[in-house]
Amino acid sequence: MLIRRSGFTFLLVMLAVRVADAATIDITTPVAPPRWALMERHLFDLMHEAAVDFVKRYTRDDGTLVWRDAWPGMDGSDDGYESFFNFALFYILGGDEEIHRIARKEWDAVTRQFTRYGQVHKEFDAYYDWMHHGESYIYIYYLGLADHTVAKDRARALRFAGLYMNEDPEALNYDFEHKRIRSPINGSRGPRFINSAEDWSTHREVLSHYPLPFDDIPGVTDSKAWVDDKLFPNILEAMNRRMMQSDVPQNLACTSLMLNALMYTGDEKYRTWILDYTDAWRQRIRDNNGIMPDNVGPSGKIGEHMDGNWWGGYYGWKWPHGFFTIIEPTTIAAENAYLLTGDASYLSMPRSQLDLVTGMEQVKDGKRLVPTKHDQRGWYAYQPLRPTYHVHLWNVSQSKEDWRRLESVRGDDDWLTVGDFRTKGDYGHEAPWVRFVTGHHPDYPEKILAVTYSQVRQRMQRIAADHTDPKTWDVHHWQELNPVVLEGLVQLTLGGPQPLYHGGVLHCRVRYFDPQRRRPGLPPDVAVLVTRIEPERTTLQLVNTSPSHAREMIIQAGAFGEHSFSSVKTVDGKTETIGGRHLRVRLAPGAGGRLVLGMKRYVNPPAYGFPW
């Protein structure tokens, strides 16, 4: 194995590619491809086939979804986008170029279709909450990583961010004086202070199975009032009066939209917005005795429209889901601020809320439960706490403090169980993955790849057996059949957890580029396994499964080049000091080996870009 300094131009298929800051490594040791490597490569082929079949089955020639001619209410466009949300991410990992083309076509097609239905205006949701906005716009964050040179994507990124900088006079969503988004329902038509009955028309039946948003609505005694045409107006009036002029923690997911614009442009105004808005919520936590308030009124006062209560807001501590829709946007914003600054104090936002609920933990029937809701009764709705958010914090901080938090919520199974399931956002295996990258679960890669294969095949079988009438389909029909399942591939190849689904961005150790084909992702035949994550080191296993073709690749430090390499140790034990965001690797036919990469984390401004 040889290491060469790369200050020269390396010819690849008559094409010169210059990566000025990259060392070059030749891996020449022959290896028998391990089972995980063959499984990984097989999944790339299988998911490509499945994705193409999925699109043929459920879309028209123009890309629009095979469905109905009209759809009412403010909900729905997120579900259209979610049906293809991870196609561009698949391409970023190394999926076929055809999937990249499909991803772009489907974004445009869903946008046109839901503009016709009425939910989308100026290519952005007219108005909805940031839990649903977040589900939609992770799609475009992946498109930015896939190819930041697409002019219309860049223009959209700036225009979308401008909706929250009051650059569009139709969408004055932001209060610069009080650092607040003016309503929990917002978008390209601005803050939605008054919701109509039609806005909620598709959700009334669903919400009739949840607790009421308030317990003192005139004439309303139970949630069946949602579907009672005489009583529903009372619910709507109470929500409009109490909720719709408040800022809420859900809006913190908007920081990713601003980050998206920043990474196209580097413009300081987006960085300032992200940090100002996040700082405002940090101060609100301090002002509320360490508890994230779920409503902030027009004057910037906590509880302004809630009789002074810090709880009771839209998607807040009481309604409908409680803690889980508080902690996720809080974690997203903290991760984004940390990505920009490297300032660990931002992580105190989610840490404090995790510590709050775990400090009230109860054990019942051998299960550890934490309170997830609060109202006039105090804390209630005790549920198990998934380690997802602890893992995300540890992943970015690598601190002993966050490791102790993570260990404190470990269950009895020692986090070795890998379930054959798929959640809506492709997550749920954070805990066993952490055990693997810290040296305690060596068979995790094969387990998660087997589960991924099973899930893809299940989706393919369901698609083949789906002979139902599109007129009967729910708005979630397609996303529930999307056969692109990426959690395992993200974890194993990039060295990071699946992004938080309701608006998070990719936080990982490395990503890859194919300089020969001038595109992101692993080259053909190459399999990679991130086997160990440490504060200043990342260990990779690389295999070229082709016995006849050499492969070249570029490894980047971080999804957005936010990290930097400091050294590289090869399989022969030699270590060399290097520097910069990129490392070039050439794999001989059938070769493989291990690299231990020294890293300095969060030392570069994050940006979209190619090594060339």
Q: Give the tens place of pLDDT for each residue, 444-457.
A: 999 999 999 999 99
Tell me if residue 175 falls in helix, strand or coil.
strand
Cβ–Cβ under 8 Å, residues 495 and 597: no
Give the residues across from 556 on adjacent strands.
Answer: 511, 582
pLDDT over 70 percentage in the chain: 96
355 Cβ contact partners less than 8 Å away, ≥ 6 residues apart: 405
228 Cβ contact partners less than 8 Å away, ≥ 6 residues apart: none
271 Cβ contact partners less than 8 Å away, ≥ 6 residues apart: 262, 340
Task: Report H helices in 18-129.
Answer: 35-58, 77-82, 87-93, 97-117
Q: Average pLDDT of the chain?
A: 95
Q: What is the pLDDT of residues 406-440, one digit of tens each?
A: 999 987 678 999 999 999 999 999 999 999 999 99
pLDDT band of 22, cuts 50, 70, 90: confident
pTM of the model: 0.96
CATH code given to domain 2-30+509-600: 2.60.40.1180
Where residue 300 falls (left for φ over 0; alpha for ψ -120 to 50; beta otherwise) is left
φ, ψ at 436 (rounded to 5°)? -65, -50
d(CA 556, CA 611): 8
Q: What is the pLDDT of residues 99-132, one digit of tens each?
A: 999 999 999 999 999 999 999 999 999 999 999 9
Tell me if residue 218 falls in helix, strand or coil.
coil
Cβ–Cβ under 8 Å, residues 413 and 473: no
- Domain range summary for the chain, segments of one domain joined by +: 2-30+509-600, 201-237
Nearest residue to 232 via CA among 215, 221, 220: 220
d(CA 56, CA 351): 45
Q: What tokens were used for 361?
A: 């933990």
How far CA 207 is from CA of 127, 255, 378, in Å, comes to 19, 28, 23
pLDDT band of 20, cuts 50, 70, 90: low
d(CA 373, CA 350): 16
Q: What is the mean pLDDT of residues 144-164?
A: 98
d(CA 547, CA 322): 54
In this structure, the strands spanning 519-520 and 526-534 are: unpaired
pLDDT score recorded for residue 124? 98
pLDDT score recorded for residue 234? 98
Tell me if residue 455 falls in helix, strand or coil.
helix
Q: What is the pLDDT of residues 534-574, one digit of tens each?
A: 999 999 999 999 999 999 999 999 999 999 999 999 877 88
Question: What's the angle, vertex CA 46, arms to CA 44 and CA 47, rounded to 5?
Answer: 70
